[in-house]
Structure 1
Amino acid sequence: MKAAAPDATPNIMTSTADERAEILKRIAAFRNLQIKLRQDREKYYDQTLARTRSLLSQPMKPRR
């Protein structure tokens, strides 16, 4: 049976640092997505409220 060469084993510290960097990158991307979604909701709310106010400020047409 042949023993594995020391270079063949992965460096645990490098692997852990790479995983940590990947996690931090994903967290940052998730936060950015949440910010974008919140901004989109606020924009939609403002547009809907403006449209509603515009309709309410117009005189009502009499029914026949």
Structure 2
Amino acid sequence: MLLTMLVDLDHLLATPIFDPERCSINFHPLHSYWAIGAYFALFFVPKLRVVAVGLLFHMLTDFIDCQW
């Protein structure tokens, strides 16, 4: 599940790379609503369920970060 943190590599495509005021959800490609839908679909593949849970938890924590 720790490897699901690699999804943050898409932050390297943004300028500036880090902006504390920017919400990651639907800004970065791997944080888009389409990607989140794909992560949700992965949940139904038994061999990928652990990865899907890690990715969905990552998106949840990023979403919570957007609320602050």
Question: Which one has a bigger Cα radius of gyration?
Answer: 1
TM over 0.5: no
TM-score, length of structure 1 as denominator length: 0.34
